[in-house]
Structure 1
Amino acid sequence: MKVRVGVILLILCLWGGSLLYAMSNDIKIFVNNSEQSSKAVEIDGKVYVPLNQLSNEQQVMLKWDEEQNKLNIYKPNVHLTTLSTKGAFGDVPKGTHPISVLAQVDNLRTDIAELKITITSPQNKEKLIQSLDTRGSKDSSKENFWFLTDTTEYNFDKAGNYYVRLYMKPTFSKEWFLVSEKQIISK
């Protein structure tokens, strides 16, 4: 009798899962007109989006607390300004130029262990501009701070879009989270 009940329950679970899958529709996700690799799912008129996929696109840090069954989303307010010897810029002629980045951060509601600023070429080659280990410093628990990188020479060798990105590694994670991005156009 127990075996019969177990088989019936197994069949019902499989049938319910198949029905749930049949009722769901895969939905393409686009962020700034760029299709993402993950898909959303619609179930009973509600769209469910995978948060891990969107954390970079929405520039947030995610912390899952399994014990409390709680998801914390941290969205600091970050402004990036690219600087050369002539001042702030958003476009640049092809060639090698001195560059530094000023990051202004506020509304940071979690402690960070590290931060880094990178630049990525149109060919998707990433170069580290500067990183900062904030563990043990007064900046690790500051809600509002400014960070100016050292000046470095960078070769804008191709015309196209370059991206300066600021990543943070919160103290609760070993993962880097993209929290801000600025586009530079090279002509």
Structure 2
Amino acid sequence: MMRVRRLIVLVTTLTLLCGSVAYADSVSQKLRILINNKKSEEVADGGIVVDNKVYISSQVVSDKLQAIVVKEDGKAIIYKPNVHMVTSAGPKIFAGVNKGDKFKFTTFIQVDTLKPDINALKLTIADPYGDETLIEQRKSGDANFPADGKSDFWITVEDISYNFDKAGAYTLRFSVKPTGESSFKVISEKTINSQ
């Protein structure tokens, strides 16, 4: 008799559990996220739909939209600063190079509406295979670091020597480290094509 009761309890529990999983699966649905409707920028399982409402991961917003997501007091605040980068070799502005070119260039970075305080910034370049090289890093207290609380500033990184030895897209990345955070957040990218 005891075995029969255990069997009934077990069957009832499994039935309820399987029914709950099936119901939960029908209420929510995984969602693929496409940035600028590009298949190459697709994030599989980057969001979900629950009751016809779309929920996107804050990590997707931060990484793909180059925004800073700050979580405080039970809310997520998204900051998207306006950042422009221009590269020049001498007086000539460029966005493309010949494969094998090695030369010195300057990068001008203009930032405005950067609301969160930052304590470090850096500029890197990644080759077409993703190998990243640090070009310059600055931290709070350095003479050439933007003044505290400044949301609008210019940065000039001069005499960057780099060998564009591979064909493809090189990516300059400008990143900042918000105060209180342990990692850098990319807030702007610029592509230099090598052919």
**Fold conserved (TM > 0.5)?**
yes
Shift of 1:167: 0.4
* 1:1-187 paired onto structure 2 within 5 Å: 16=20, 18-32=22-36, 33=38, 34=40, 35-65=42-72, 68-94=73-99, 95-135=101-141, 139-187=147-195
The 8 Å contact of residues 168 and 179 in structure 1, kept in 2 or not, is answered as: yes
TM-score calculated relative to the size of structure 2: 0.81
For 1:97, the aligned partner's letter is F
Shift of 1:101: 1.1
* CA RMSD of superposed structures (Å): 2.2
Query: 2: CA distance between counterparts of 1:37 and 1:151?
Result: 40
- What is the number of equivalent residue pairs in this alignment? 176
Residue 24 of structure 2 aligns to a residue whose secondary structure is helix
Distance 1:74 1:159, change over 3 A: same
Distance 1:171 1:135, change over 3 A: farther
Residue 108 of structure 1 aligns to a residue whose secondary structure is coil
Identity %, equivalent residues: 33
Gaps of 5+ in 2: 1-11
The 8 Å contact of residues 67 and 81 in structure 2, kept in 1 or not, is answered as: yes
Shift of 1:134: 2.2
The 8 Å contact of residues 31 and 45 in structure 2, kept in 1 or not, is answered as: no
Q: Provide, for residues 121-157 of structure 1, a one-character-per-residue CA deviation record: whole Å limited to 9, x for no partner.
A: 1011111111110247652320111000131210111
Distance 1:14 1:182, change over 3 A: same
TM-score calculated relative to the size of structure 1: 0.84
Shift of 1:44: 1.4
The 8 Å contact of residues 146 and 153 in structure 2, kept in 1 or not, is answered as: no
Structure 1 residue ranges, 4+ long, deviating more than 2 angstroms after superposition: 11-18, 20-23, 134-140
Query: 1: CA distance between counterparts of 2:115 and 2:51?
Result: 35
